[in-house]
Amino acid sequence: MLNPLMILADLPPPTWGIFAEGQVIPFLFGTAFVVVVYVLISRARAGEPIPEIRKIAGLDAVDEAIGRATEMGRPVHFGPGIGAVSNAQTIAAFAVLGYVAKMCAQYDTQLIQTNRNIYVYAVNEEIVKQSYLEAGRPDAYNPDDVRYISGFQWAYCAGVLGIMEREKPAANIMYGSWFAETMIFLEVGNIVGAIQIGATTNTAQLPFFIAAADYTLIGEEMFAASAYISKEPVLRGTVVGQDIFRILIFAIIIIGTILQQIDPEENPLARILTEF
Amino acid sequence: MLVTSDPMIWTGALFTLAVFSYLYAENPAWRIAEHIYVGMTAAYTVAYQFHNTIKPTIMEDMLVDGSWGMLIPMIVGLLIYTRYFPSVSFLQRYPLSLWVGYGAGLVMAYAVPPLMTQIVGNFRTFDSFDNVVYWIATVCTLIYFFFTVKRTNPVIKYGAAIGRWAMMIAFGVSFGQTVIYRYNLFLSRMEYLLTDWLQLIEY
């Protein structure tokens, strides 16, 4: 039987007495990221300038889709993905749902919002209700339009298919963490003639969005889009902070690759990043 | 033809056909299958949670083992139902906040160390065509996701364009693989109908 004390005996001594091997750089990197994001959020909140997020192609499509649904007198369907409430993609979807709900309230267009996760459902209900209130149309809010279908992936899928077939939305906005149900939703959206917008970071599902949706926000674009749409300081600061670190990572890769050509066996940057 | 007499297989086969009937058009058979499926999962969830979480927690952990601390998460969980009482509905935010905070903390703790390994994985020696293609695709895809840098600079503009092409090629490969996998799922259902139900095929 494996003795846990034997495993402990083989561990190298911690760096600076507290960090396990190879954890110092990740800690410093993570801490620097938190500080940069905090500073940017504070600046955005105070109305001080921070780098602008460029407009994402396909963002106008949200307005176009809601406008089309309004003209046709048909509803808009919004799906937040099937991820948990703590999933970053689901959190990004909250901002976009708020925007979509406010637009639907202003144009008096029905918004059908379906959920798989009970916690996401609770949050979305609040968001939609609040958006109708902010749009000055609390009377138009219909609690039955925010729907919990099922906690099971395929039951949720079957339920949404039925809703789309029967209520024929003119716009289908799928924004969040999607999995194998993606193509089925998009196929039915196509059958009922809905304009479709997809956004996810799940790389296995992106091919389906690109093939079958009218507009797709690829990966990180969905976070940038939700920040761009909402103008929310927290989201803007976070996206700009992420971008700064993305550029930093880009620079590290360039420098690391140059060092790799000089001495492929002993790259000092690789050693620092993995061992320290 | 020997058709099975097993009622479970008959049920499975008829529901499979009801779902497949959607391929022709939305119809009552599909609708029945849809509603039964959604309803059954709701019932299953309630029964599963009662027998596997609520009952053992109360009957064993609390009453037998005396772990009365379990009352705390239970009360926090019950706060979600305050949404039905407008005067105290703000309390539902506490379990939600706890859940979101837990998710954010978990990501912060475990997302960064693998990132270092991924960065170092891109320090490629340009000694093969594969390595050069890999490196260019990775770096250009990274450029595509720069949101605060304007695409007027030629390096950024063309880098992002190459990155987009690299992603599209990768998505095409992934699409093909998934289509093949979906065929496998369909064939598995056909096997069930022809073998277990109609018993046309014998192994």
Domain limits, chain A: 60-230, 233-260+269-276
Average pLDDT (B81-86) is: 90
- Per DSSP, the residues of A21-64 read TT-HHHHHHHHHHHHHHHHHHHHHHTT---PPPPPPTTSHHHHH
The per-residue pLDDT for range B89-121, each reduced to its tens digit, is 899 889 988 887 887 788 777 778 888 999 999
Q: Inter-chain contact A149–B138, Cβ cutoff 8 Å?
A: no
Q: What is the CA radius of gyration of chain A?
A: 23
The C-alpha atoms of residue A273 and residue B121 are separated, in whole angstroms, by 11
The per-residue pLDDT for range B115-156, each reduced to its tens digit, is 899 999 999 999 999 999 999 999 999 999 999 998 888 999
**From the first residue on, what is the mean pLDDT of each consecutive set of 10 residues in chain A (276 residues)?**
54 76 87 94 94 81 93 97 90 91 96 95 93 96 96 95 96 96 95 96 94 94 85 88 95 97 93 88
Q: Give the SS3 label for residue A171.
A: strand
The residue ranking higher by pLDDT, A56 or B40, is B40
Q: Inter-chain contact B112–A267, Cβ cutoff 8 Å?
A: no
The C-alpha atoms of residue A6 and residue B126 are separated, in whole angstroms, by 42
Contacts of residue B40 in chain A, CB cutoff 8 Å?
155
For B82, which residue in chain A has the nearest alpha carbon?
Answer: A122
Contacts of residue B22 in chain A, CB cutoff 8 Å?
161
- pLDDT at position A3 is 54
- pLDDT at position A1 is 45
Q: Are A239 and B146 in contact (CB under 8 A)?
A: no
Facing residue for B142 by CB, picked from A51, A158, A246: A246
Q: Are A165 and B30 in contact (CB under 8 A)?
A: no
Residues paired with A79 in a beta bridge: A174
Contacts of residue A210 in chain B, CB cutoff 8 Å?
168, 171
Helix (H) / strand (E) element for A146: namely strand A146-148
Q: Are B126 and A261 in contact (CB under 8 A)?
A: yes
Q: Are A164 and A190 in contact (CB under 8 A)?
A: no
Contacts of residue B42 in chain A, CB cutoff 8 Å?
150-151
Residues paired with B10 in a beta bridge: none
The closest of A15, A276, A241, A26 to B109, measured between CA atoms, is A26
Q: Are A85 and B100 in contact (CB under 8 A)?
A: yes
Contacts of residue B151 in chain A, CB cutoff 8 Å?
54
Q: What angle do CA B30, B34, B37 make, to 5 degrees?
A: 135
Q: Are A124 and A91 in contact (CB under 8 A)?
A: no
Rounded to 10 deg, the angle between the B112-121 and B93-110 helix axes is: 40
Our CA-based measurement puts residue B15 at a distance from the nearest CA of chain A, in whole angstroms, of 13
Q: Considering chain B, what percentage of its residues have pLDDT values greater than 70?
A: 100
The C-alpha atoms of residue A148 and residue B89 are separated, in whole angstroms, by 18
Contacts of residue B38 in chain A, CB cutoff 8 Å?
149-150, 155, 158-159
- Per DSSP, the residues of B126-149 read SSSHHHHHHHHHHHHHHHHT-SSS
Interface test with A, best of B98, B107, B123, B182 (most A CBs within 10 A): B123
**In this model, does residue B81 exceed pLDDT 50?**
yes
Q: Output DSSP code: residue B152.
A: T
Q: Inter-chain contact A259–B138, Cβ cutoff 8 Å?
A: no
- pLDDT at position B66 is 94
**In a 10 Å sphere around its CB, with 0-12 CB exposed, 13-18 middle and 19+ buried, how is residue A35 labelled?**
exposed
Would you give the end-to-end CA distance of chain B in angstroms?
16
**pTM of this structure:** 0.88
Facing residue for A150 by CB, picked from B41, B147, B168: B41
For B169, which residue in chain A has the nearest alpha carbon?
Answer: A207
The per-residue pLDDT for range B163-190, each reduced to its tens digit, is 999 999 999 999 999 899 999 999 999 9
The closest of A165, A121, A119, A118 to A143, measured between CA atoms, is A121
- CATH hierarchy code of domain A60-230: 3.40.50
Sheet holding A215-218, edge to edge: A146-148, A111-115, A76-81, A171-177, A195-200, A215-218
Tabulate helix, strand, coil % of chain A (nearest 5): 60, 10, 30
